[in-house]
Structures are given as structure tokens and as C-alpha cells.
């Protein structure tokens, strides 16, 4: 094995086939960027789930005067009803982790804080907001247990699971991620086809060399290695560009645009980028290597 | 060295077999001419020896190996012991004489110290000393064929296959090439040469095997090209 000879062959091959090499680099970069972006969205969703599921609560809104749900037919919630609900909630421990009572006054204060810049505040009075129990569950997926126990009981207007609202949002993100993955998949197929074609052209343009190599008894490995390395190198450069794009996405889009505008939630950290980058590199180089290997087996036969 | 035992080769696209029931033995150190009209099976014979094709039936033995049973990954080892020369030289146009010969060693992984030693030696054997830096298009046809022979011989193969090596050369140049092949043969390499050149065959007076329509129709030691049958 002579490394310098193989390296020289690889350099020659890449230079002679420059336009195709550039095409391979660009398609690999674009497809892997999309692939990386999809993985980043996935990491983002899981980060947000961790962040939010820790905070979500089940809200049990109690009847106020004038509530028109059937369970509120008896008018505003009575003290006895309220105490009974609290006792029943206590009996659901350890599923119920924390119970917090929010009075009309507290609800109004929180509302005012949340919408402090909006004219809506002026139209809402303390009495318009319901009092509620905020319940934190040790396992947020067991929401149904609480809901079935309390929904429809006299004195309770509504049982709300915040997770359901979040889930809609996560489904949206999941959909986006799926679309990105699908496009990435299509692009990766295009990339593989391009590499197959590039290898065919490369094998054809060097058929004189390879036929002599076969005649003088060069091993298949030795004949194919320069081609394989060329494909892997081009894909590697493309993958590095895609990783660069991923870093730019993280710095510009996540850290500088999204994070300052949406401070209430958590965003993916560099650990996610560090985990995705090697996946991109391996996917790119691996796909190119496999595509090249099978093409060469067909076109550079002994 | 080479043993064909009832060998038949049928190409899928042709009606008539290219070689049919051919049995032939070539001993170590022989110089043998393969003659016959185009399409008689000379090239197929050589391709079978190089294991570029497989026989449909019969057995082909080359250098102690039965080629039908030789696995693919062992073919390179076989070919390293066989030098090959063609009518069209098959040199790399963008490489110098030295580099063309060195290429054959580089691709089988020989160290550059070995290459620097043996390439000048073999270029001297073929009479190209002083032309190491030329490119093929700066050489005459005869000189190009000498480069090809140097490349074929640089590994000191046991067997040299020459497929019409003088087919593109004028008679005077051809004689020079034949002298060179004769010298290589005297150094101990078995030479199998296919040719249409009657003059050469008649002058050399070596073993002649004549093929016609895939059959051996004549096998004669110290033969001539056109034998009255």
C-alpha cells in the first residue's frame, strides 16, 4: 500500500472531475443541512417537552355566579363543595404532587400581569375570572385519572389539561420536522443518484488507467480505493459545510432570533448540535461510500 | 505453464463457439506463435489465459492454477505473473516513459525504492535508456511498444502474452520488437504471441499453433506461417 500514490490519484481524480465533485459537495451539503435541521427540530421538541411537562398543571375551574355549564346549575361554588374537592384531590396523592388554590383575586392579578400591555385588562373585572385549583401531577400523562374524577361534578365548571394545548403545538413542530425529514430524504436520494453517476463518469474517464491496473494485477481494493476516497472526501466536505450551516442555524436562528423573542421556553443547547453533527458526517460519508462501492463493483469488474 | 484441456468458449451473443474443444499444452520457456485469420479464436485464447473470460467447458491451467476454480480475489495474483502487450500499446498519454512503467509497480503496492531500482534496469533491457522523461506522443510506434513491453516485463513475469504486438508497426521496426521478445524469452519467460505477420513467423522458426474457426488445425514446432495443407 502506497499512501502517496493513492493520495495523488485521489487529487487527480477530484481535479479532473471538478464540476461533478462540486455538484456532489453541494448536494451533500444541502441534503445534510435539511437532515440536520430536522434533527435539530426534534431535539428542540424534546427540550421543550422536558421543559414544559415539568410545568404543566391540570386546572380545575370552579363555578362562579352566572356560569352556564350544567354542573354549575346551583350557582357559584359553595365552601363545602370547595373543601370536598380539596379533600378528594389530597386523596389522589402521590399522583397529585402539588395542589394550589387560586382565588378570584389571585387570578385577576396574574391576568393583569400577563396582559399588562393589552387593553383587554380594562374590560375584565375580578369577578369575571373563576377561582381554581391548580394541580401538578407526578406523571403528566395520567391526566385522565383526574379529569374523570372531577369533570362534571357540581361546583366544577371545567377541568383543563394544559398538556393538551402543548401537545397541539408539539404536533405542529413534529409535522414540520417530518416535512424537513421527508425533503432531506428526497435530497439524500438525489445525492446518492448523483454520486452513482459521478462514479460512473469517473470510472469511464479513467478506464484506460483502470484497465492497465487490472492487466498488471492490481487488486480490486487498490483500483477502487481512489474512487471510494474521492466520493468519501467530497461527501465529507459537503457534510462539514452542512455542519457549518447547522452551527449558523443554532447561533443566528435559535440564539439570536428565537431565544430573545420567546423567553418563556427553553431552546436546544450546544449539546444537541454536538450530538447531531457526527450523525450528519457519518450519514454523508457512509451514504457516499456505499453508493460508490456498489457502483464501482458494477463498473470496475476484474 | 499453460494447459488447455478440451476447452470450449461460447459467447452469449454468438452462434458459433469462439473456441471449441481446444486442447493444447505450452511448456515453460517456449516461444509460441498463435496464427489464424481474424475471428479464429486467437484473442479468446489469450483472454482465457488472462482469465478475462471463463471457459464454458473444459479446464484451463495457467501457472499451476485451474482458472475456472480460481476465486475472483486471486486473479490479481495470477496477472502479476503474466506480462501483457497489445497491438495498441495501451500507454497512459499523460505519463512519461518512466512513469508508465512505474505505474505497473505502484498499483501493486511496490515501494518506491524498488521502483527507482528496477525501472531503469528494464528500460535498458528494452533499449530505451535516455528516454525516461519522454511522453508517449514524443515516441515512435516501435519505441511506444518497447515501453509497453518494459511495463509487461518489469515484474519479471513467468509468462508474456503478446496480442499482435507488431500489428501497428512497419516491418523494420517489427524485427526490432521481435528481437526484444526473443531476448525476453531467452531470459526465461514463456512468450505466447498472436500475429498475422507471416514474415516474422517464417523468420523466427518457432512453434506455431494455427487456429481456424475455434479449432486447432495445426501445431508444429519450428513452423512457418502459411503451411501447405
How far apart CA A291 and CA B150 sit, in angstroms, is 37
Task: Count A/B contacts: CB-CB distance under 8 Å.
Answer: 61
Is the confidence at residue A52, as pLDDT, over 90?
no
Mean pLDDT over each residue of chain A, to the nearest integer:
83
Interchain proximity B84–A5, CB inside 8 Å: no
Q: What confidence score (pLDDT) does residue B92 get?
A: 93
Shortest alpha-carbon distance between residue A4 and chain B (Å): 10
Is the confidence at residue A297, as pLDDT, over 60?
yes
Q: Which residue has the cell 391576568?
A: A111
The residue ranking higher by pLDDT, A144 or A204, is: A204
Q: Report residue B229's pLDDT band, with 50, 70 and 90 as the boundaries.
A: very low
Residue of A nearest to B95 (CA): A209
Mean pLDDT over each residue of chain B, to the nearest integer:
92
pLDDT > 90: percent of chain A = 17
Q: What confidence score (pLDDT) does residue A172 get?
A: 84
Q: Chain B residues with CB-CB distance to A under 8 A?
A: 50, 72-73, 75-82, 84, 90, 92, 103-104, 106-112, 151, 155
3-state secondary structure string across B68-133: HHCCHHHHHHHHHCEEEEECCCCCCCCCCHHHHHHHHHHCCCCCHHHHHHHHHHHHHHCCCCCCCC
- DSSP symbol at B67: G
Of A75-89, B96-110, B128-142, which gets the smallest average pLDDT? A75-89
Is the confidence at residue A302, as pLDDT, over 60?
no
- The answer to whether the beta carbons of residues A102 and A57 sit under 8 Å apart is no
Q: Report residue B227's pLDDT band, with 50, 70 and 90 as the boundaries.
A: low
How remote is the C-alpha of A55 from its chain's centroid? 20
Is the confidence at residue B126, as pLDDT, over 90?
yes
Is the confidence at residue A230, as pLDDT, over 80?
yes
Question: Residues 6 or more apart from A99 whose CB is under 8 A from it?
Answer: A86, A89, A90, A133, A134, A135, A136
Burial class (CB in 10 A: 0-12, 13-18, 19+), B137: exposed
Cα angle value A16/A17/A18 (rounded, 5°): 95
The yes/no answer to whether this complex scores an ipTM above 0.90 is no
Angle at which helices A207-215 and A220-248 pack, to 10 degrees?
A: 140
Q: What confidence score (pLDDT) does residue A125 get?
A: 76
CB atoms within 10 A of CB B11: 12
The residue ranges of every structural domain in chain B are 1-81+157-229, 92-155
Fold assignment, B1-81+157-229:
Rossmann fold (3.40.50)
Q: What confidence score (pLDDT) does residue B79 get?
A: 93
> Which of A1, A5, A217 comes nearest B76 by C-beta?
A217
The residue ranking higher by pLDDT, A126 or B78, is: B78
DSSP string, A12-57: HHHHHTHHHHHHHHHHHHHHHHHHHHHHHHHHHHHHHHHHHHTT--
Q: Chain A residues with CB-CB distance to B under 8 A?
A: 1-2, 4-5, 208-209, 211-220, 222-223, 302
How far apart CA A159 and CA A63 sit, in angstroms, is 11
Contacts of A208 in chain B (CB under 8 A): 90, 92
Contacts of B76 in chain A (CB under 8 A): 214, 217-220, 302
- DSSP symbol at A156: E
Q: Which long-range contacts (CB under 8 A, 24 or more apart) does A46-55 make?
A: A47/A266, A47/A267, A47/A268, A47/A269, A47/A272, A48/A170, A48/A173, A48/A265, A48/A266, A49/A166, A49/A170, A50/A266, A51/A265, A51/A266, A52/A166, A52/A265, A53/A140, A53/A163, A53/A166
Contacts of B84 in chain A (CB under 8 A): 215-216
Q: What confidence score (pLDDT) does residue B228 get?
A: 47
Stretch A211-229: mean pLDDT, rounded? Answer: 88
Q: Report residue B30's pLDDT band, with 50, 70 and 90 as the boundaries.
A: very high
pLDDT digits (tens, 9 = 90+) for A233-290: 999 999 999 999 999 998 998 888 888 877 777 788 888 899 999 999 999 999 999 9
Q: What confidence score (pLDDT) does residue B39 get?
A: 87
Q: What confidence score (pLDDT) does residue A127 get?
A: 76
Is the confidence at residue B77, as pLDDT, over 70?
yes
Q: What is the CA radius of gyration of chain B?
A: 18
B62: left (phi over 0), alpha (psi -120 to 50) or beta: beta
Q: What confidence score (pLDDT) does residue A6 get?
A: 81
Name the pTM for this structure.
0.72
Of A121-130, A197-206, B140-149, B212-221, which gets the smallest average pLDDT? A121-130
Is the confidence at residue A187, as pLDDT, over 70?
yes
Most confident of A171-175, A177-181, B8-12: B8-12
Walk me through the domains of chain A, giving residue ranges and CATH numbers.
3-52+167-299 (no CATH), 55-163 (3.30.70.3040)
The residue ranking higher by pLDDT, B91 or A91, is: B91
Residues belonging to chain A? 302
pLDDT digits (tens, 9 = 90+) for A20-29: 889 999 999 9
Amino acid at each position: 500500500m502506497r499512501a502517496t500514490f493513492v493520495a495523488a490519484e485521489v487529487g487527480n481524480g477530484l481535479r479532473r472531475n471538478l464540476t461533478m465533485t462540486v455538484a456532489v459537495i453541494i448536494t451533500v451539503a444541502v441534503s445534510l443541512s435539511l437532515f440536520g435541521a430536522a434533527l435539530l427540530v426534534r431535539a428542540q421538541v424534546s427540550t421543550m417537552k422536558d421543559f414544559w411537562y415539568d410545568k404543566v398543571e391540570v386546572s380545575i375551574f370552579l363555578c362562579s355566579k352566572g356560569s352556564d355549564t350544567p354542573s354549575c346549575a346551583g350557582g357559584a361554588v359553595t365552601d363545602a363543595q370547595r373543601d370536598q374537592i380539596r379533600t378528594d384531590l389530597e386523596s389522589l396523592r402521590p399522583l397529585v404532587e402539588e395542589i394550589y388554590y387560586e382565588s378570584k383575586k389571585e387570578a385577576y392579578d396574574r391576568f393583569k400581569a400577563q396582559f399588562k400591555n393589552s387593553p383587554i385588562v380594562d374590560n375584565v373585572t375580578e369577578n369575571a375570572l373563576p377561582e381554581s385549583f391548580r394541580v401538578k401531577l407526578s406523571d403528566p400523562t395520567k391526566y385522565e385519572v383526574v379529569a374523570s374524577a372531577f369533570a362534571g361534578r357540581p361546583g366544577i365548571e371545567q377541568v383543563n389539561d394544559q398538556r393538551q394545548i402543548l401537545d397541539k403545538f408539539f404536533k405542529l413542530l413534529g409535522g414540520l420536522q417530518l416535512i424537513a425529514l421527508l425533503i432531506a430524504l428526497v435530497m439524500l436520494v438525489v445525492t446518492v443518484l448523483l454520486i452513482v453517476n459521478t462514479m460512473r463518469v469517473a470510472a469511464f474517464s479513467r478506464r484506460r488507467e483502470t484497465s492497465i491496473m487490472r492487466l498488471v494485477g492490481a487488486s480490486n481494493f487498490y483500483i477502487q480505493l481512489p474512487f471510494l476516497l474521492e466520493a468519501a472526501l467530497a461527501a465529507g466536505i459537503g457534510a462539514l459545510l452542512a455542519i457549518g450551516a447547522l452551527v449558523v442555524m443554532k447561533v443566528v436562528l435559535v440564539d439570536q432570533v428565537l431565544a430573545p423573542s420567546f423567553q418563556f421556553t427553553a431552546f436546544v443547547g450546544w449539546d444537541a448540535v454536538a450530538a447531531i453533527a457526527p450523525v450528519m458526517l457519518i450519514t454523508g460519508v457512509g451514504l457516499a461510500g456505499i453508493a460508490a462501492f456498489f457502483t464501482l463493483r458494477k463498473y470496475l469488474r476484474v | 505453464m499453460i494447459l488447455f484441456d478440451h476447452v470450449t468458449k461460447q459467447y452469449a451473443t454468438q452462434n458459433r463457439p469462439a473456441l471449441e474443444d481446444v486442447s493444447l499444452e505450452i511448456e515453460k520457456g517456449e516461444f509460441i506463435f498463435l496464427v489464424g485469420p481474424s475471428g479464429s479464436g486467437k484473442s479468446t485464447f489469450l483472454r482465457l489465459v488472462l482469465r478475462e473470460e471463463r471457459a464454458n467447458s473444459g479446464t484451463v491451467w495457467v501457472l499451476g492454477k485451474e482458472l475456472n476454480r480460481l476465486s475472483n480475489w486471486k486473479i490479481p495474483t495470477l496477472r502479476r505473473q503474466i506480462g501483457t502487450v497489445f497491438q495498441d500499446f495501451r500507454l497512459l498519454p499523460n505519463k512519461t516513459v518512466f512513469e508508465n512503467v512505474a505505474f505497473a509497480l505502484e498499483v501493486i503496492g511496490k515501494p518506491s525504492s524498488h521502483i527507482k531500482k528496477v525501472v531503469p534496469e528494464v528500460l535498458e533491457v528494452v533499449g530505451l535508456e535516455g528516454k525516461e522523461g519522454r511522453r508517449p506522443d514524443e515516441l515512435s510506434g516501435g519505441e511506444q511498444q518497447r515501453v509497453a513491453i518494459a511495463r509487461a516485463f518489469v515484474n519479471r513475469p513467468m509468462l508474456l502474452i503478446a496480442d499482435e504486438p507488431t500489428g501497428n508497426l512497419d516491418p523494420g521496426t517489427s524485427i526490432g520488437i521481435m528481437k526484444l521478445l526473443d531476448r525476453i524469452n531467452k531470459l526465461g519467460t514463456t512468450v505466447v504471441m498472436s500475429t498475422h505477420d507471416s514474415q516474422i513467423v517464417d523468420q523466427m522458426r518457432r512453434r506455431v499453433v494455427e487456429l481456424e474457426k475455434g479449432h486447432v488445425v495445426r501445431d508444429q514446432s519450428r513452423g512457418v506461417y502459411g503451411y501447405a495443407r
